Amino acid sequence: MQTPMTPSITVRSYYYPPLDNSPGATALVVQVTTLINSYMIWVGSCEEISGAESGSSSQSQPKSAVSAQPKSSLADDSENTHLADLQLVDLPGKEDDPRVLEAIRNGRFSKDWACAMPAINPGMHIASTPLFRSNESDITLAMAQRLARRWKKQVFLSADLPPKFEQGSRLLLELEKRVLESIRRVEESRAG
């Protein structure tokens, strides 16, 4: 009798309410795809879902599901490459909320995208590179380096955020806290 294997690729999505209560404040959606010894993280924004608490969704995806085609190719339009439709998001209290689904389905994957590898030895620098950058954004490179250093895994980090996030260091700090919280939740679910 064979025992079921734990999928090697899992996808979890997290909704975070706006960072502040000011008009036009943006809620965040963090999607963490767990691969073997690496994370693919996408951060996007969506409209606030009234009465919603931070929640999560987890769905394991077979490798064939993860290779879904984006709506445009990198060669055709690298600035407008969309995330593939990996799964429906089932966030507690916000089941299939169209705003969260829309943020994930239509998020631009290559607006600001970087990769970082943890150092082999403690004294070495972290290897990192921007994969795609637009003129208006460059937040992922440094954040990917910090995440790789902390979690000792390769990190692919993509952000599709409004310009106000790049202008305020407080907002960037809060954004990084949300990403760290998402990875912590993923690590806890894998351990337990």
Three-state secondary structure string covering 36-79: CCEEEEEEEEECCCCCCCCEEEEEECCHHHHCCCCCCCCCCCHH
Q: What is the mean pLDDT of residues 21-36?
A: 82
Question: What is residue 114's predicted lDDT score, i.e. its pLDDT?
Answer: 94
Residue 57 bridge partners (DSSP): 13
151 vs 134, which has greater pLDDT? Answer: 151
CA distance 42 to 32: 7
| pTM for the predicted model, two decimal places | 0.71
Fold of 10-191: Ribosomal Protein S5; domain 2 (3.30.230)
Q: Is 130 helix (H, G, I), strand (E, B) or coil?
A: strand
Does 112 have pLDDT greater than 70?
yes
pLDDT in tens, 37-93: 999 999 988 777 665 554 444 443 333 233 233 333 333 333 333 333 333 334 544
Determine what percent of the chain is predicted with pLDDT higher than 70.
Answer: 64
The ranges assigned to domains in the chain are: 10-191
CA distance 160 to 108: 6
Residue 8 bridge partners (DSSP): none
- Going by C-alpha positions, the residue among 140, 124, 137 that lies closest to residue 176 is 140
Residue 23's pLDDT band (boundaries 50, 70, 90)? low
Does 183 have pLDDT greater than 80?
yes
Q: What is the mean pLDDT of residues 149-170?
A: 83
Tell me how long the chain is. 192
> By mean pLDDT, which of 2-6, 78-82, 162-166, 182-186 is the weakest?
78-82
Does 126 have pLDDT greater than 70?
yes
Does 162 have pLDDT greater than 90?
no
Question: What is residue 154's predicted lDDT score, i.e. its pLDDT?
Answer: 96
Does 12 have pLDDT greater than 80?
yes
CA distance 55 to 128: 31
94 vs 156, which has greater pLDDT? Answer: 156
* Amino acid code (one letter) for 28: L
The sign of the dihedral angle between the CA atoms of 113, 55, 15, 22 is negative
